[in-house]
Structure 1
Amino acid sequence: MKRTNKTAVSYYLLSVLVPMLLMVGLYAMLQIVPFGRHNLLISDLGTQYMPFLAEFKRQMAQMNFSTYSFSLSLGGDILPLAAYYLISPFNLLLLFWSNSQLPVVVGYVIILKIGAMGLTMAHFLKTRQPEYHFSALIFATAYSLSGFVAMNFYNLMWLDALIFLPLVILGLERLFLKGRPGLYIWMLVATIFTNYYLGYMSCLFAVLYAISLLIKWKQPQQSWWQLVVHWRQAIWQFCWASLIAGGTTAVVLLPSLLGMLKTGKKTIAATSFYPTPQFGWEVLSQFQVGGSHYTQRLIHEPTLFISTLALLFAVYYFCLPTIRRQAKWSNGFLIVSLALSFWVTTFNTMWHMFQQPEGFPYRNTYLMAFVLIKIAYEASIEPIGKRQTKRLVILIVGCLLSIGQLALYYGPHVRGVQKQSLWLLIGLMVLASVIFAAWQKGARWQPWVIGLGAVLTFSELVINGRLTTTKLPMGDQVVYAQQYQRQAALFEQLERQTPDFYRVNNQAILLKKAFKEPYYGYNDALTFGQYTLNNYSSTLDERMRTMLVNLGFYSKNARRINGIGHTVLTDLLFANQYDLIAKQGQVVTQPHKTLGLGFAVNDQLAHVALKAHEPFENQDRIMQAMTGQTTPFYQYNQLDLQAQKRRQITFTTQVKTSGYAYLYLPQQNLSKLKVKINGRTHKVPIELNGTTIIGLGRYQKGQQLTLTITSRQPKAFRKIQVASLDQAHFDQAFDQLAQQRLKIDLKQLSADNGWIAGVVPAKTADQLLYLSVPYDSGWHAQVNHQTVRTRRVMGNMLAVPLEKGTNQVRLVYRAPGLIIGAIISTFSLMTWGLILIKQRRH
């Protein structure tokens, strides 16, 4: 092997291994598996990404690539979720381990992604000069373990964008200089495919970078119009190449867009576009180690750390006389543009897809890290500068960092910023300044200086990583594996004993024993391949969530829905056949009367509109419409005041019917209330920050119920609703509906969630097949081999019109926008192919 090839192999191998080894070192400090029993069951990684990855793994293992899943609450399009979280080639590694070991494998995947970031950045920096400079590895590693990565490494779906960014920019430069857009198109396509959110940011940055290239190449005598005319061919090529890249990803983007329009995120707040500043001078402290840590992940300032040495060289870039003024203006334009995108609320909102992020703010700071590290390396390989220039740079950086610390310590209190030991910060600054001052290309001591610079920078990156992960509430992998097996065995038992479609309201939540943070099991259905009402994701259907809230279910916000608040009636409506309840260390299974996936009902159901804060009335009207009866199913119980204090009120009531009784307190935060039922405190499996139906137990007609409510808010005592279900009336209605239940092929449904087929009888021609499935325009129905239009009932549930007699029903789900997106993607690729053919002919 030639010396050059050996150097290249060593260069690229080290670019991968160094950041990976540093991350392994951080894992060892945190005692993460295999260095201890900790895992990364933290934040959204534990509550969302892990279950989503389990679903991805299940579909891949079963070779079942359905675009619909009944494990997403009552069911939903899985494409928007997959496009945001799951389309990464690194996820294929998950197939080789069991689900109980998934947290361990995810930790390894994160290390591999960070190594890949070092590789692509090292390759990009290699293009800055003809030779291999191992000093580039210092800057490439600083990129792969920058402040953004240290703060967000457990949001692993974002890391792919950082891997591809250097290659996107390299392709963009190649497009302008050589007229070859291939690399730019493919890398931009890969970025958008793996995560369209950061892919959108990379697209915006590509536009800014293209403008910066024009600024860089502008000649002193040229006007801006002449510059555009001179580069018109490259500009035109950049425009159509970007359109082709976007069009190629339409097969993912279009269904994702249509899916996101159904969520609560479609609402745009005007205040998010006010041109107000988002932070002050304390932001300069974020260039130093430990600017923020885990507990500030939802609210923090831009994570700008890139290492002190890289920061010195980034400032040095603008002071070097050997670098053209236009190049400085070019990169200055990028830095100022990105800085404004953080600082001005209007721009920040635009960069975040016209929505202020719910936690993890400033998600585009990885772009600033890229620009600063790029120019830092370019400055480091320039010829020797004057000592006075380096002293000036040290003074400038020292002053800026001092201003940041002074604002942090003596300015107004700000959230999301962490103070660190001033001696630590001063020590790192002094060491970096000494190395920076001694950095001289070609000097005798240069290898030693580079070596010391590497040691300092790598140490600083690890220190920053450790400070950023302060108070990281890691999970217990041993307990997780044990509880996973226990929970899986319970679900397998239910599956064996239940021949029909069913859902499980899992409030036992065995996995929470492995978490240090509160864990509510919202996505356990995805983890175990089960069906439930619970869900927590950014793709939650807002109309479905609102419907469930109007029926009395608990929802913390637009991203969460929980099975707490269910009643005997809603158990029937949503096929909730089992409750899993933790009692004295054991899991108790409580069965309910359900009728599977669907049953025939009167078409009056299509005319029922739900009212806010009236769950009992809503449920009553639904059941009356379904059965054609006028007798109410709920009886409201009259409350007799027994005692009232300043913060406590006690009622008694005589229950009017034999059956379950329920309490509902409209518009109340139940976490601030204390409810006692017959002297016993009512307990819930999770903290309730809103209102929901509270089950009071089962009573006989005439039995006395005593209710005590303690609250600091007097309005909590207003509009108290206590209703009891007439169980005998419900049983009669249940038997009536059971005669017209849908019989389905459960094996086929389990194999492909986007397909429902079965037989249902209808007594009259004006009946509907009610399905325990949310309405979605992607469902296409046939009844007796004739295409029929699906109906939206009950606010957001699916129904199909029936004919009198026996009905053969078949429903197929096609994700909205998927076919059109695929056509656009195919057309885009064909257009690119024709352009390539035309170019080669010329």
Structure 2
Amino acid sequence: MLEKIRKIILNHYFLSFALPALIMLFYFYYRKMAPFGNSSILTVDLGQQYVDMFSGMRETILHQPNQLFYSFAKNFGGEMFSEWSYYLFSPLNLLLLFFNQANLPSGILFLTVARFGLAGLSMQYLLVRRNFTGKEMGLLISSSYALSGWFVANQVNLLWQDQIILLPLIIYAAIKLINEQKYLPFVLIFAFSIIDNFYIAYMIGIFLPMFAIWQISRYYSKFLNQSLIFLRFLSSMLLSVLISSVVLIPTAFQLIQGKGQDTIASIDWGFIQKPYLVILKLIPGSFNFSQMKTGLANIFVPFIIIIGLITYFSIKQEKISTKIISGLIIALYSLSFVWQPLNILFHMMQYPVWYPYRYSFIFSFFILLLAAIGLEKSKHANFPSFVLSLLLIAVISSVAVFFNKKINFVNSQQVRLFIFLSVSALLVYMVRSYMKHDVWAYFLLLIGLTSSALNAYISTNNFSYLTNSEYQRTVKALQQSTSDLSKKGFYRVGQTFSRTRGDAFATGYNGGMHFSSTVDKTTPELFGAFGQVANDYYTSYSFGTVLTDAIFDMKY
């Protein structure tokens, strides 16, 4: 036991968890979010939809376990298994059972902080155990991964966050499969990833064959060997899908009745407007409300990572063929950020409603991995890398200044901050030959952490949040007005306030309302035909009459 604790400390596993977790915890404390004050972490979808899902999860597990498969709290009755697989199958969500409905914002805050930390820990584990980099340099890469632009932008989307934790572990198991022919770890963890959240796991599944080709090219030269190993890898992926079909099949059947019907019939083959602005996402804080709705890919990482990426292509320890494959993978994802057909393919053939480029964390992961190799294996600063990095800083800064009046997610202060941090990283990179490796790595870590923390601070500060007292007031009012209702009848509860369309599921009564991506198409059509509130993803029996109340057996 003591030896295990010693390894955790020596390999910086504890620090890889603590650094991103504490940075986000201090920020939430600074913003006085519950339990540290009267603000809350609830905003956009987290405050309008997910918090009710978590409340319903608590109600189901603690009081009504039969609702796991079917619930009358979903409209006038509906299946729930697909709902759980889409939103709630993460085992980390069980932490929320320790917080009652009124205190869920506090539980969600701690759960979010824990996921930031776990993302750093899983990345550090991959880097150290598979010898991509040393433990000191690993801290820079792992903290940059955990505090990447994708995670900061999607910190409210708790249902997707497990996948950023699982990705390094899946890659670790994939390398074990490729290098050591050990199949079981990969098959099991990828199957678990699909069960946890099949939607983001699909995006990982697209990346895995590309990664396998890259990894195989690093260690094998003969085409026959490469082909056999790649086929075994694909077979293992298929086996993972078959294992997870216990969840995939019923979920797919339900989605076909609803959201699956939105699969596009024709593709826009054009490029997005102003694709050259994507590079501005490397500036700290380049995320706001408009970017959340219809913005560019969130690919922020500290600029030292970009320097390491450029260095990777100059080191002699990697094969030319491997570098070419690396470049093609980067090019493919970069193209997907500006060309709609690839973007749609990576989104399971659907246009995303808000939060565009949901797969961009995979791009960040891969360039971080390459940067780790580049920074670790280069013995001294590379002059061409220095020149290219300096040129890129100038290009990004110039584009930001030139288009300053046409964009709203970057200002002059952010540009100056970017220049200062990037040039600082470049200077530390240049003096590598004059410093011990671990001291040099810690200097880079300081600059990287500063960049990531400032990105998180500026980006998250661009949003307003629901106050905790406001949330608790409405929850207590709902609980008081519905506590005596029977679990068997339908009830239309009059409210002097408007909160969400998930109140019935969250509070545990049958109210003829629901809000989720798994609502089948016929239900909103029925509600709309009776003059009720309805949309593709929500319904609400809000304007009942004597006649409609009688038809639906709705009590008031």
Unmatched 5+ stretches in structure 1: 220-225, 513-518, 579-842
Match of 1:160 in 2: 162
Task: Determine which of 167, 174, 177 is the counterpart of 1:175.
Answer: 177
The correspondence of residues 466-485 of structure 1 with structure 2, limited to 5 A, is 466-485=457-476
Match of 2:299 in 1: 304
Conserved? CA contact 1:69–1:75, under 8 Å: yes
Match of 1:288 in 2: 283
Conserved? CA contact 1:80–1:259, under 8 Å: yes
Offset, 1:549: 0.7
Match of 1:502 in 2: 490
Deviations 1:200-223 (A, max 9, x none): 10111112212323444564xxxx
Task: Determine which of 250, 253, 275 is the counterpart of 2:248.
Answer: 253
Match of 2:47 in 1: 46
For 1:506 and 1:361, locate their aligned partners in 2 and report how far apart those are by CA, in whole Å: 37
Match of 2:312 in 1: 317
Offset, 1:554: 2.3
Conserved? CA contact 1:537–1:560, under 8 Å: yes
Task: Determine which of 429, 442, 445 is the counterpart of 1:436.
Answer: 429
Change (3 A) 1:53 1:420: farther
For 2:284 and 2:381, locate their aligned partners in 1 and report how far apart those are by CA, in whole Å: 29
Offset, 1:312: 1.4
Task: Determine which of 205, 211, 214 is the counterpart of 2:213.
Answer: 211
Match of 1:119 in 2: 121
Change (3 A) 1:348 1:403: farther
| Amino acid of the structure 1 residue aligned with 2:154 | N
The structure having more radius of gyration, on CA atoms, is: 1
Change (3 A) 1:178 1:407: farther
Conserved? CA contact 1:294–1:468, under 8 Å: no
For 1:81 and 1:396, locate their aligned partners in 2 and report how far apart those are by CA, in whole Å: 49
Conserved? CA contact 1:503–1:532, under 8 Å: yes
Match of 1:569 in 2: 547
The correspondence of residues 123-522 of structure 1 with structure 2, limited to 5 A, is 123-129=125-131, 132-217=134-219, 219=221, 227=223, 229-277=224-272, 279-402=274-397, 404-406=399-401, 408-409=403-404, 413=406, 417-421=409-413, 422-440=415-433, 444-493=435-484, 495=485, 501-509=489-497, 519=499, 521-522=500-501
For 1:155 and 1:437, locate their aligned partners in 2 and report how far apart those are by CA, in whole Å: 39
> Across the two proteins, how many residue pairs are aligned to each other?
553
Conserved? CA contact 2:21–2:117, under 8 Å: yes
Conserved? CA contact 1:439–1:446, under 8 Å: yes
Match of 2:60 in 1: 59
For 1:35 and 1:459, locate their aligned partners in 2 and report how far apart those are by CA, in whole Å: 24
Task: Determine which of 526, 538, 542 is the counterpart of 1:560.
Answer: 538
Match of 1:35 in 2: 36
| Amino acid of the structure 2 residue aligned with 1:504 | R
Change (3 A) 1:402 1:186: same
Offset, 1:37: 1.6
Q: Could you say what secondary structure the match of 1:475 adopts?
A: coil
For 2:88 and 2:548, locate their aligned partners in 1 and report how far apart those are by CA, in whole Å: 32
Conserved? CA contact 1:52–1:526, under 8 Å: yes
Offset, 1:48: 1.1
For 1:41 and 1:35, locate their aligned partners in 2 and report how far apart those are by CA, in whole Å: 14
Conserved? CA contact 2:487–2:510, under 8 Å: no
- Which is further off, 161-170 or 428-437? 428-437
Conserved? CA contact 1:283–1:404, under 8 Å: no
Conserved? CA contact 1:148–1:304, under 8 Å: yes
Match of 2:6 in 1: 6
The root-mean-square deviation of aligned C-alpha atoms, in Å, is 2.3
Q: Could you say what secondary structure the match of 2:337 adopts?
A: helix
Q: Could you say what secondary structure the match of 2:168 adopts?
A: helix
For 1:386 and 1:92, locate their aligned partners in 2 and report how far apart those are by CA, in whole Å: 47
Conserved? CA contact 1:290–1:420, under 8 Å: no
Offset, 1:118: 0.7
Offset, 1:438: 2.2
Match of 2:109 in 1: 107
Change (3 A) 1:444 1:471: closer
TM norm structure 1: 0.63
For 2:487 and 2:49, locate their aligned partners in 1 and report how far apart those are by CA, in whole Å: 29
Conserved? CA contact 1:553–1:563, under 8 Å: yes
Offset, 1:529: 0.5
Deviations 1:476-501 (A, max 9, x none): 223322432232011114x1xx6961
Conserved? CA contact 1:118–1:144, under 8 Å: yes
| Amino acid of the structure 2 residue aligned with 1:100 | A
Conserved? CA contact 1:534–1:563, under 8 Å: yes
The structure carrying a bigger strand percent of its residues is: 1
For 2:134 and 2:436, locate their aligned partners in 1 and report how far apart those are by CA, in whole Å: 18
Conserved? CA contact 1:218–1:326, under 8 Å: no
Conserved? CA contact 1:285–1:408, under 8 Å: no
For 1:148 and 1:130, locate their aligned partners in 2 and report how far apart those are by CA, in whole Å: 23
Offset, 1:43: 0.8
Percent identity over the alignment? 22
Matched, 1:537 2:516: yes
For 1:307 and 1:130, locate their aligned partners in 2 and report how far apart those are by CA, in whole Å: 19
For 2:54 and 2:547, locate their aligned partners in 1 and report how far apart those are by CA, in whole Å: 33
Conserved? CA contact 1:71–1:526, under 8 Å: yes
| Amino acid of the structure 2 residue aligned with 1:388 | F
Change (3 A) 1:13 1:474: same
For 1:424 and 1:408, locate their aligned partners in 2 and report how far apart those are by CA, in whole Å: 17
Q: Could you say what secondary structure the match of 2:492 adopts?
A: strand
Change (3 A) 1:420 1:303: farther
Structure of greater relative contact order (alpha carbons < 8 Å, 6+ residues apart) = 2
Conserved? CA contact 1:295–1:471, under 8 Å: no
TM norm structure 2: 0.93
For 1:499 and 1:540, locate their aligned partners in 2 and report how far apart those are by CA, in whole Å: 22
| Amino acid of the structure 2 residue aligned with 1:487 | L
Q: Could you say what secondary structure the match of 2:454 adopts?
A: helix
Offset, 1:356: 0.5
